[in-house]
Amino acid sequence: MTRRLSPAATVGLVGVLFVLTLTAALLAPTGPESTWWPGSAVAACLLLLSPRSWRLRVLTGAVLATAAAGLLGGLSPVSAIGSAAALGAEAFVVCWWLTRRRTGPTGLRTWSDAVRLAVAALLGSALSGLLAVPALTAAGHGAATEFLGVTTAHLAAALVVLPLGLTAWRAHRPIPLPELLIHGSLFAAMVGLCFFVGEQRPPLASLILFLVWAAARFSPLCATLEVAVLAVTVTVLSGLGLGPFATGAARLGDFGDGSISWMSQMFVLVSAVATQMFILAIGHAQRSERRVVQSEASMHRIIESATSIAVITTDARGLITVFSPGAEHLLGYDAEVVLHRLSPVSFHDPAEIAERAAELGIAPGTAPEKVVTFAVDAGADHETRDWTYLRKDGTRRTVWLTVTPLRDADGGTAGYLSIVGDVTDRRAAEEALLLALQKEREVSARLRDVEQAKTDFVSTVSHELRTPLTSIIGYTELLDEGVGGELTPTQQGLVGRIENNSERLLRLVEDLLTLSSLERGRFGMDKRPTDLRDVARRALEGVTAGLPDAGIESSLRLPGQPATVYGDACQLTRLVTSLLENAFKFTGAEGHVELSVCVVDDVAVLRVDDDGIGIPEDEQDQLFRRFFRGSEPRSSEIRGTGLGLSIAESIVKAHDGQVTVQSSVGAGTTVTATLPLITTGRRSDELVAG
């Protein structure tokens, strides 16, 4: 990964560029094509390592330093300036290609990075070759030969120098110092043998083996530096007329003019490419190995920490290869006892295996392992089902088992992965819950039967009582009229009491019959569009007309628009009458009862408000229970059947409505019934006198 240079380091590298360029010019044996091989690469590396805002100034400094070095090295002013301009153009092209379409730093870690570097170096080197061809051909050299020589020299330099700026300088693993010293000594000795020994010198290819050694055993930076050292050594010694390249050029005679530089730089190019390819290959292998090791370590930690889940794997023979701590806890076996000795089917209940085999139609002689893996062997990705495992101590545990095949590189089955969880307690709880639900259903059915029997009994008794009660009331009326003779005042009082109590009893019977019919859904209703305003008027007139003058005021508030519901006018009148009678009964002298109807959105709201004795909060949830009587002393003194609100609630529900009560002791009670309107209406706050 690239780093950013400080200003001092940048100036220092510009100075290094000046020295390298001057040295190359002084050592050039055959022509200017070998003089500039390090300059362009160092300038491109300078641009890569500099911040973007500095690059123009850095490039200018590199061009000026190169021109000055060329002049000091013996080049003409035109050649020095032209070479410096070519250096600047190559450095710019290389830097532009390496940084194009990149937002982060440029590095050399992947094959795509290597391809990008190779293309950048080739473009820059070809540009330098094209710029150098006119000057060289004017001096009498062949265009193709000189283009190839310059391009090769610059390409070799780029692939040697640029990796120094793109390679991470921090090693990921410690470098063995003794081996590094041995390696350096042998490398220096081999260079000496290759360049200072006569005809029996070892082949230059042996030096590449040292580069491979450095790439494999040391850091990428060490191998890259060794390539740079080799490049400088080969170039300098070849320029001095030493080594195999000078010998080969001498043998060619006139045909070897300029070939020392070309051959030496070609060797440098091959060495640089081979080393970088080997560095990338080793780096990729090492990263893959680290990922595999990390993955295996993570999987091992997961398996070791999953104590509540058993993880068991097998090989192709069916023998256990992994037996997690969770499996040890579940089955009671130590891993050392079962690994590579037992099959997971050893833990299964044999009777259950045989039963499952019969279900699948597997022959009895088939290996029992095939019963467990039948679904995945048939092509399923996995199979999950409950099994019975036998622990080492003989106890039975119910488990859910998920079996998944393990595939090899060819797609064949290399073994099986089993994930096992103990669900004994859960299954027992589920069975207990199912049993409890079944019992609850049975109890509910019996309660419904009892309730139905009670309702039928009340209905039957009420029917049987209504006829004699009607007769009793009729005969008391005849006695009161004197049909059986003139009654004394005392007798008349007794007959009146009989008549009053008979009528009370008859009302109770009628209420019971009505409530029973409503609950059983056998109460026929003549539903039709009904305006609640008319119902409210009739109910209030009927109640107030039949009450003695007790000083209780009443009022009626109705909306200016119809409050039309789909209902039985008689039953709705009975509903309002029942609510009003309750309100009047529990309101004292000089009290007030108000009946109101209003329309809110798509419902009609009917309210009965009184300022009577009120109802305790802890009793309000029992108001609609049959025969309920309040605990207040004044409530206990007031006669009633305790069925009025029950009947009212049943009538409201029969009309798809709701009824609620709000009350407090001493402050009065509000009963609200909401019924759906036939058509949606807007809220109307306009109430008119009834």
Return the CATH number at 482. 1.10.287
Return the CATH number at 562. 3.30.565.10
- Greater confidence, 131 or 143? 131
Among 270, 292, 314, residue at a domain's last position: 292
491-514: average pLDDT: 69
Query: Which pLDDT value is given to residue 521?
Result: 56
Q: Is 550 found in the same domain as 500?
A: no
Give the span between the Cα atoms of 306 and 300, in whole angstroms.
Answer: 10
Partners of 396 in the β-ladder: 390
Query: Which pLDDT value is given to residue 466?
Result: 63
Instruction: Share the mean pLDDT of the chain.
Output: 78
Residue pLDDT, tens place only, 429-470 = 888 888 888 888 888 888 777 766 666 666 666 566 666 767
Q: Is 395 found in the same domain as 287?
A: no
**Does 190 map to a domain?**
yes
Which two tokens mark 53? 């805002």
Among 422, 453, 471, residue at a domain's last position: 422
Q: Is 288 found in the same domain as 273?
A: yes
Query: Which pLDDT value is given to residue 389?
Result: 93
DSSP letters, 103-114, are: SS-----SHHHH
Nearest Cα neighbor of 7 from 75, 61, 74, 84 is 61
Nearest Cα neighbor of 159 from 204, 206, 194, 124 is 124
Q: In this structure, are residues 335 and 321 in contact, taking their beta carbons and an 8 Å threshold? A: no
Q: In this structure, are residues 265 and 153 in contact, taking their beta carbons and an 8 Å threshold? A: yes
Q: Is 319 found in the same domain as 237?
A: no
In the chain, the amino acid numbered 236 is V
- Looking at the structure of the chain, the number of domains it has is 5
Domain that holds residue 74: 1-166
Residue pLDDT, tens place only, 649-674 = 778 888 888 888 888 787 788 888 89
Q: Is 206 found in the same domain as 61?
A: no
Give the span between the Cα atoms of 688 and 145, in whole angstroms.
Answer: 115
Considering only CA atoms, give the Rg of the chain.
54
**Does 123 map to a domain?**
yes
Among 390, 422, 454, residue at a domain's last position: 422
> Looking at residue 678, what DSSP letter applies?
S
Which two tokens mark 415? 């073994």
**Does 148 map to a domain?**
yes
Query: Which pLDDT value is given to residue 74?
Result: 75
**Does 67 map to a domain?**
yes
Return the CATH number at 13. 1.10.1760
Q: Is 680 found in the same domain as 578?
A: yes
Phi/psi zone of residue 332: left (φ > 0), alpha (ψ -120 to 50 degrees), beta? left
Half-sphere exposure of 509 (CA within 13 A, CB side): 17
Residues 6+ apart with CB under 8 A from 56: none
Residue 561 has φ and ψ, to the nearest 5°, of -110, 155
Which two tokens mark 278? 């080997």
Partners of 605 in the β-ladder: 598, 674
Half-sphere exposure of 237 (CA within 13 A, CB side): 20
Q: What does each C-alpha distance from 143 to 40, 86, 128, 140, 253 come to in angstroms?
A: 21, 17, 13, 9, 20
Give the span between the Cα atoms of 37 and 88, in whole angstroms.
Answer: 13
Helix 177-196 × helix 205-217 angle, to 10°? 170
Highest mean pLDDT out of 269-273, 477-481, 582-586: 269-273
**Does 312 map to a domain?**
yes
Q: In this structure, are residues 30 and 54 in contact, taking their beta carbons and an 8 Å threshold? A: no
Give the span between the Cα atoms of 381 and 259, in whole angstroms.
Answer: 66
Q: Is 574 found in the same domain as 544?
A: yes
Nearest Cα neighbor of 202 from 210, 214, 211, 193 is 193
Indicate whether 575 pLDDT > 50.
yes
Give the span between the Cα atoms of 683 and 405, in whole angstroms.
Answer: 68
Share of the chain above pLDDT 90, in %: 6
Nearest Cα neighbor of 277 from 120, 151, 118 is 118
Indicate whether 631 pLDDT > 80.
no
Query: Which pLDDT value is given to residue 238?
Result: 78
Q: Is 533 found in the same domain as 493?
A: no
Partners of 371 in the β-ladder: none
Residues 6+ apart with CB under 8 A from 172: 219, 286
Exposed, middle or buried by CB within 10 Å (0-12, 13-18, 19+), for 644?
buried
597-624: average pLDDT: 79
Give the span between the Cα atoms of 359 and 371, in whole angstroms.
Answer: 10
Weakest-pLDDT range from 9-13, 217-221, 228-232, 425-429: 9-13
61-79: average pLDDT: 79
Nearest Cα neighbor of 159 from 122, 184, 194 is 122
Indicate whether 390 pLDDT > 80.
yes
Return the CATH number at 357. 3.30.450.20
Q: Is 263 found in the same domain as 175?
A: yes
- Greater confidence, 477 or 454? 477
Buried-exposed string 603-636: b where 16+ CB fall within 10 A, e elsewhere: bbbbbbbbbbbbbeeebbeebbeeeeebebeebe
Partners of 420 in the β-ladder: 310, 401
In the chain, the amino acid numbered 239 is G
- Greater confidence, 307 or 562? 562
**Does 300 map to a domain?**
no
Q: Is 585 found in the same domain as 610?
A: yes
**Does 226 map to a domain?**
yes
Nearest Cα neighbor of 166 from 114, 215, 112, 228 is 114
Nearest Cα neighbor of 645 from 585, 587, 588, 582 is 582
Query: Which pLDDT value is given to residue 637?
Result: 46
> Looking at residue 644, what DSSP letter applies?
H
Residue 290 has φ and ψ, to the nearest 5°, of -65, -40
pTM above 0.75, yes or no: no
Weakest-pLDDT range from 131-135, 333-337, 464-468: 464-468
Residue pLDDT, tens place only, 138-188 = 555 566 767 777 788 888 888 888 888 887 766 666 778 888 899 889 988
Confidence of residue 403 (pLDDT cuts 50, 70, 90): very high
Q: Is 58 found in the same domain as 29?
A: yes
Query: Which pLDDT value is given to residue 85?
Result: 84
Residue pLDDT, tens place only, 92-130 = 888 888 888 776 667 788 888 888 888 988 998 888 888
Give the span between the Cα atoms of 155 and 126, in whole angstroms.
Answer: 8
**Does 36 map to a domain?**
yes
Q: Is 595 found in the same domain as 622?
A: yes
Parallel, antiparallel or unpaired: strands 553-559 and 592-600: parallel
